[in-house]
Amino acid sequence: MSLDVATLRADFAILTRTVRDEKPLVYLDSGATSQRPRQVLDAERKFLETANAAVHRGAHQLAEEATDAYEDARAKIAAFVGVDSGSISGSAGGGEIVFTKNATEGINLVAYAMSNAATAGPEMKRFTLSEGDEVVITEMEHHANLVPWQQLCQRTGATLRWFGVTDDGRLDLSNIDELITERTKVVAFTHQSNVLGTINPVRQLVAKAREVSALTVLDACQSVPHGPVDFHELGVDFAVFSGHKMLGPSGIGVLYGRRELLEAMPPFLTGGSMIELVKMEGSTFASPPQRFEAGVPMTSQAVGLGAAVDYLNSIGMDNIAKHEHELTRAAVAGLSAIDGVRIVGPGIDEDGDVHDRGGAVSFVVDGVHPHDVSQVLDSLGIAVRVGHHCAWPLHRRLGIPATVRASFYLYNQPSDVDALVAGVREAQRFFGVTDEEPANGQA
Amino acid sequence: MQLESMYQDIILDHYKHPHGRGLREPFDGESFQVNPTCGDEVTLRVHVDDDTITDVSYDGQGCSISQASVSVLNELVVGNTVEQAMTTMNAFVELMQGRGTVEPDEDVLDDGIAFAGVAKYPARVKCALLGWMALKAALASAGAAEAAQGVEVQ
């Protein structure tokens, strides 16, 4: 591995603490939220101690410095995902990166802008939905990329359709020509499943959506933190990701929108900062990204996310992806080797490796409910996620109520995988499923 | 952490050998409860005869804590009056929401005292209370609503 885990772990103070009776922390829940290095915390603190002010308003020196810091962060983040940041001063607009509260808000922003388009005049027609139109999503979506589209369909009379999932956790594209048709207005899907780890064929879906002039929306929450991602190269129209899953602060998410679309799209939230001209009779709106950033935005969080991007760049996204691939392969192999444990998602292929999957490794243990598995792991200091991971329809499709999910990041080490595998064996021992049949037929 | 403090033998025994499991007729009230954070669910029916709870039948899926809790519930309330069941429920809820500071009364809670260890783990308290939420709602739908009031299960 070309990544010096021992050295970089020293940047994450939380990884040195112990939990549950002095057990060293084994943090395998970065898919839910990642830990933050000292460099990110320092950047936020430095900003707040030296340059804090409300951005894009005020002409005093602090206001200038705060605005520069905010827009500088935007530029770094834009470059990180291969898109345009617009003018650094921000006043000229044109940027493709919009700061939101989180990724969920980013998706809602697009969905509500499409609702608002219905009453925003004929020039907004390309964003409007009505009866007979269709929105296509997938059965493996996080609720954040599912419920907003259900709601949009309810408000507009459009129909929601979705790709199914195969038994081995891949997108079932066999009916792509029936699903994506002239009626399709939006195709929204995840880059990488937060449960299965599956990496979806973005280019194939984008190509098909373009054939019918449908807009594409990519949930990149589980991809952008873990490897190189270039939205221009992928060709998506919109994409979202969250700061706190990529070593950055919570309270900040990112919406990417293709410049030409953001320039044409009506706003979602309205108020201060997002206007061009306000009269009592009516208002006009600022150019993007300001049009979509109503009110005083989160600023130290943007600065912190900029620092997180610097940190990730200093390690190298290729190195991180490679490192996580090794951990994922070891975890999938190690867990699969245990009798009574089943990986939910792509497993080890014939070549002994894993393919087109990221570091979210979900599994079930015969006879031991996921909650109980995680409780045993917790008692050993191992933090994993348990439940349906905000992907309830996916679990229903797979016929299981819940899964245990281990997820990896750059600071995880091979010994973490060993601890996980040993912990799962301990859960089996504790609940007596290695020697006897469970009395209560749990999935 | 001592796993055994949460997973008392009584709990594991109820989990592996649940009492009164399965949905039965006749019944006067039914409730379906789900824990939206984890997907655990329980459907619970009550049969009330002249103010006495003559049967509690249930089905569901979930962790050992949620499933053992509803098994204990069955043992604790079947044969009791609605009022007695409410007293038991209040005691159980108080125990579970006490963060481990409440000393359970074995005369009231019987096997339910085994859940004292669970009360120290806030994430699992909801599991233990799932069946009791269902009991409260099922009694309400059975017309024993008045008696079921005054118990706030969070």
Q: Pick from A21, A344, A371, A404 the residue to mutate for testing the B interface (most B CBs within 10 Å).
A: A371
Residues of A forming the active site: 390
Measured between CA atoms, the residue of chain A closest to residue B126 is A371
Q: Concatenated DSSP letters for A88-109?
A: TTSTT---SEEEESSHHHHHHH
Assess contact for B79 and B54: CB atoms under 8 A: yes
CA dist A254 and A257 (Å) reads 10
> Which residues of chain B does A395 touch, with a Cβ-Cβ cutoff of 8 Å?
39
Q: Kindly report, residue by residue over A171-208, the tens digit of the pLDDT.
A: 999 999 999 999 999 999 999 999 999 999 999 999 99
pLDDT at B145: 57
pLDDT at A366: 96
pLDDT band at A92 (very low <50, low <70, confident <90, very high): very low
CB-based contact, B60 to chain A, within 8 Å: no
Rounded percentage of chain B residues whose pLDDT exceeds 90: 70
Residue B151 reports pLDDT greater than 70: no
Lowest mean pLDDT among A156-165, A244-253, B124-133: B124-133
CB-based contact, B61 to chain A, within 8 Å: yes
Residue B152 reports pLDDT greater than 60: no
Residue A438 reports pLDDT greater than 50: no
CB-based contact, B26 to chain A, within 8 Å: no
pTM: 0.92
CA dist A1 and B85 (Å) reads 61
pLDDT at B101: 87
> Which residues of chain B does A379 touch, with a Cβ-Cβ cutoff of 8 Å?
1-3
Helical H segments across A103-228, by residue range = 103-117, 147-156, 176-179, 202-211
Looking at per-residue pLDDT, the higher value among A95 and A14 belongs to: A14
> Which residues of chain A does B6 touch, with a Cβ-Cβ cutoff of 8 Å?
375
Lowest mean pLDDT among A111-125, A343-357, A414-428: A111-125
Bridge-based pairing state of the strands A97-100 and A253-257? antiparallel
Write the single-letter amino acid at A62.
Answer: L
Residue A326: HSE in the Cβ half-sphere, 13 Å Cα cutoff: 16
Q: Tell me if B124 and A430 make a contact (CB, 8 A cut-off).
A: no
Q: Kindly report, residue by residue over A386-418, the tens digit of the pLDDT.
A: 999 999 999 999 999 899 999 999 999 999 999
CA dist B112 and B130 (Å) reads 14
pLDDT at B125: 92
Mean pLDDT of A154-174: 97
Question: SS3 of A268, please?
Answer: coil
Whether omega before A289 lies within 30 degrees of 0, making that bond cis, reads: yes
Bridge-based pairing state of the strands A360-365 and A403-407? antiparallel
Q: Tell me if B16 and A440 make a contact (CB, 8 A cut-off).
A: yes
Over its C-alpha atoms, chain B yields an Rg (Å, rounded) of: 14
pLDDT at A313: 98
Residue A217 reports pLDDT greater than 70: yes
Sheet of B52-61, strand order: B29-34, B41-49, B52-61
Neighbouring-strand partners of residue A238: A217, A257
Q: Kindly report, residue by residue over A94-104, the tens digit of the pLDDT.
A: 589 999 999 99
Report chain A's terminal Cα–Cα distance, integer Å: 37
> Which residues of chain A does B15 touch, with a Cβ-Cβ cutoff of 8 Å?
439-440
Question: SS3 of A186, please?
Answer: strand
CB-based contact, B5 to chain A, within 8 Å: no
Q: Which of A370, A379, A387 is opposite residue B37, by nearest beta carbon?
A: A387
Angle separating helix axes A103-117 and A147-156, nearest 10 degrees: 10
CA distance B59 to chain A (A): 11
CA distance A390 to chain B (A): 8
pLDDT at A59: 87
Q: Kindly report, residue by residue over A349-378, the tens digit of the pLDDT.
A: 999 999 999 999 999 999 999 999 999 999
Measured between CA atoms, the residue of chain A closest to residue B35 is A387
pLDDT band at A124 (very low <50, low <70, confident <90, very high): confident
Measured between CA atoms, the residue of chain A closest to residue B68 is A440
| Distance from chain centroid for Cα A121 | 33
Residue A436 reports pLDDT greater than 80: no
